[in-house]
Amino acid sequence: MNNKVLRLQKLFLPLLLFLVIALGVGLLDLQAAAEVAQSTGESADVSWLSILPPLVAILLALVFRQVLLALFLGIWMGAFLVSGQSFMDIFTSFFQTITEYIVPATADESHMSIIVFSLLIGGMVGIISKNGGTRGIIRVLTRYVKSKTGGQLMTSFMGFLVFFDDYANTMVVGNTMRPLTDRLRISRAKLAFLVDATAAPVATIALVSTWIGAMVGFISDAQAGMPQFNESAYLVFINSLPYNFYAFFTLLFVLLIAWSGKDFGPMLKSRLKLYKAKVNSKLDTYGVYKDKEEPEEQKEKRVTHWSNAAIPIIVLVVATIAGLFVTGSPEPVNEQMADGGLTLFEKIQNIVASSDSYAALLWGSLLSVVAAFGMTISQGILSTDETLEGMTEGMNVMFEGVLILVMAWSLSKVTVDLHTADFLISVFRDVLSPHWMPAIVLLLSALTAFATGSSWGTMGILMPLVVPLAWSLGESGGLDPVTIKPILYASVSSVLAGSVWGDHCSPISDTTILSSLASQCDHIEHVNTQLPYSMVGGLLALLACIAVLVMDIPWWIVYPLGAVIIVTVIMQFGKSPDPEKVAEEEKNQLSADN
């Protein structure tokens, strides 16, 4: 009976809180607010109310740990604000959540591509798990990786290898390494962090990736109105790399936290919970100790050659990269890049910049399923029916994550309709100054990505504003072009770095959701455990921006100082508990309670 009451509370408390907020907003005299805004010259469309839907969704998700319900209520809140804020709109907006937001988000071609890609990856993983190939890989890896430190470092290095796309990175690394990390008793939360913290940062600094293709396009569009600035968009990106402090500090943090074997904050609590689960089955949320508890079931599991899993994964990576080249063009994306001819590397970058990354991901994932299916059937490992069963089981695992993705995209559409990004920009616009601009842009990008759940959307919104603004602020401040360029480069990197930082902290981010999905980790647990680690990199990046651009300290001095701070934080706050000791203490506690 108590459990039923708790379940009802989890369902109705968020709904009740939503209705209270909606009624409170409905009682506001928004027409009067609009008249005030009009008299002050501000757009009536840009209001503090625009941040309510993502804020409601994020808070409800974190407090009640019901992600789907929280996202739906955030969309409902947004539909209510868009439709007019009357009492009756509370009810009409309920139906508009489906017709105006959820269905259009699903019908969007790029979104559907990611859904199909995720399902195909799930299907491939399901096949290689059922045919024993995954366990074959784990059997090989365990010959060389026998410790928690080795398992974490191996996961991190794999994140570096799949550099060309963050979606592919999370799905490949998370699904491949999960059985090994489970065996080594590395928490799912730690796996999700290692996957998430390497995916986007690696893609943002790789010289050729789908992220950089989009980034160059955004920079090129921003330069269209800057005839006085004739540097190629790709060269702007290259010059901005030293200022991408968040990416480099985060990757360094990942390697050091993995190598040290230490954890702190919620991540440490998650780790302790896993160790206690050895003697307390109620804490074994993910069934990590299930194999030890059920030896008969373990004996029935197939173990086949590692190539049965490795080849489909290699096909995925190679076919996706090939797809980028097939759909791209070596022709320059703008006239500036054509001046003086193009190097081979610039041609490769043009190909990636103009490629259809969604098509490439779909082709790669489809071929990986075909490879897994063909290898399984041809060797007689499984029958056709068993192989199809494994594929559908793998797809089913992805279903909840796909639903969360759809809801997150719908909420992102709500923030567009409510001009959430415009509101955040209007708040910060008047406080921008040339030397402080990169630091403020970093914060603004992080807030926008956190609120909207979209790093690419944040880049698309802010880049066309930030690049010309950085140049014009420098000129109006009497700075010469040589002095302005570092500010411009740092501002470009701040948009990119802030977008990733906000994404890492946001429970409604698509890449964060995919990392939870691929690692099979509770999404809110992933967000809670990753947040303190992301804040270390984010705050260091903010301080680095101020040090380099305001205090004029060279970036090559800032990086070693940042590394020292990261080491100090890990050694000062991190702990590496003894698994056996923790399990023994939990056993004694259970005995005392009984």
d(CA 483, CA 68): 48
Asked whether residue 4 carries a pLDDT value surpassing 60, the answer given is: no
Cα-based torsion angle of the residue sequence 231, 236, 238, 243 in order, rounded to the nearest 10 degrees: 140
Residue with tokens 């005995």: 591
Both structure tokens of 108: 């969007």
Which of 92, 104, 101, 81 lies closest to 22, judged by CA?
Answer: 81
Total Cβ atoms within 10 A of residue 554: 10
- Rounded Cα distance between 333 and 343, Å, is 14
C-alpha span between 474 and 111 (Å, rounded): 39
- pTM of the prediction? 0.74
Which range among 151-160, 308-317, 396-405, 539-548 shows the weakest confidence by mean pLDDT?
A: 396-405
Percent of the chain with pLDDT over 90: 26
Residue whose C-alpha is closest to residue 135's, from 262, 291, 339: 291
Q: Over 70: is that where the pLDDT of 502 sits? A: yes
Look at 526 and 172; give whichever has higher pLDDT. Answer: 526
pLDDT, tens only, 438-472 = 998 899 889 888 887 777 777 766 777 777 777 77
How far apart CA 188 and CA 283 sit, in angstroms, is 13
**The pLDDT value given to residue 336:** 45
Sign of CA dihedral 57, 61, 64, 70: positive
Closest CA to 559 of 259, 244, 261: 244
pLDDT tens-digit profile of 409-418?
Answer: 788 788 778 8
Structure tokens at 247: 């990416």
Listed range (143-157, 282-296, 409-423) with the worst mean pLDDT: 282-296
- Mean local confidence (pLDDT), 518-539: 93
Helix (H, G, I), strand (E, B) or coil at 288: coil
Beta strands per DSSP E along 246-373: none
Q: What is the mean pLDDT of residues 283-304?
A: 64
Q: Which residues contact 471 (CB under 8 A, 6 or more apart)?
A: 226, 228, 229, 484, 488
Give the start-to-end residue ranges of the domains of the chain.
2-107, 110-231+286-397
Residues 289, 298: Cα–Cα separation, whole Å: 11
Q: Count the alpha carbons within 13 Å of 592 in the hemisphere toward its beta carbon.
A: 6
**CA pair distance 308, 139, nearest whole angstrom:** 13
CA–CA distance, 516 with 462 (Å, rounded to integer): 27
The CA distance from 497 to 511, in Å, is 15
Q: Cβ(536)–Cβ(252) under 8 Å?
A: no
Judge whether 519 and 192 are in contact, CB under 8 Å: yes
Helices and strands: H and E segment counts in the chain: 29, 0
Dump pLDDT digits (tens) for 548-567: 998 989 988 999 999 999 99
Nearest-10 Cα torsion for 289, 294, 298, 300 = -150
pLDDT bucket at 310, cuts 50 / 70 / 90: confident
pLDDT, one tens digit per residue, over 342-365 is 677 777 767 776 778 778 888 988
pLDDT at 8 over 60: no
Residues 10/64, Cβ–Cβ less than 8 Å: yes
Q: List the structure tokens of 315.
A: 């096909």
3-state secondary structure of 379: coil
pLDDT for the residue numbered 135: 77
pLDDT for 5: 43
Per-residue pLDDT, 339 = 47
Burial (CB count <10 Å: 0-12, 13-18, 19+), residue 233: buried
**What is the largest distance, in Å, between two alpha-carbon atoms of the chain?**
80
Helix, coil or strand: residue 72: helix
Assess contact for 415 and 447: CB atoms under 8 A.
no
Can you give the pLDDT at residue 216? 67
Give the list of residues 6+ apart from residue 478 with CB closer than 8 angstroms, or none: none
Give 40's pLDDT tier (boundaries 50, 70, 90). very low
Alpha carbon distances (Å) from 404 to 74, 490, 524: 13, 34, 12
With a cut of 60, say whether residue 21 has pLDDT above it. Answer: no
Sign of CA dihedral 347, 353, 354, 360: positive
**Angle in degrees, 0-180, between the axes of helices 210-223 and 344-354, rounded to the nearest 10:** 90
Q: What is the CA radius of gyration of the chain?
A: 25
Q: Which pLDDT band, with edges at 50, 70 and 90, does 42 fall under?
A: very low
Q: Which long-range contacts (CB under 8 A, 24 or more apart) does 94-99 make?
A: 97/72, 97/410
Q: What is the pLDDT of residue 19?
A: 53
Name the phi and psi angles at 514, rounded to 5: -65, -35
CB-CB neighbours of 434 under 10 Å:
24
How far does Cα 466 stand from its chain's mean position? Answer: 23
CB atoms within 10 A of CB 121: 30
Tokens of 329: 């063009």
Q: What is the mean pLDDT of the chain?
A: 80
Which carries the bigger pLDDT value, residue 208 or residue 324?
Answer: 324
Q: How many CA atoms lie within 13 A of 47 on its CB side?
A: 22
The total of other beta-carbon atoms located within 10 Å of residue 344's CB is 8
Supply φ then ψ for residue 93, to 5 degrees. -70, -25
* Mean pLDDT to the nearest integer, 429-433: 63
What would the DSSP string read from start to end of 209-272? Answer: SHHHHHHHHHHHHHHTT-TT----HHHHHHHHGGG-HHHHHHHHHHHHHHHHT-B-THHHHHHH
Contacts for 454 with CB less than 8 Å, ≥ 6 apart: 412, 503, 509, 510
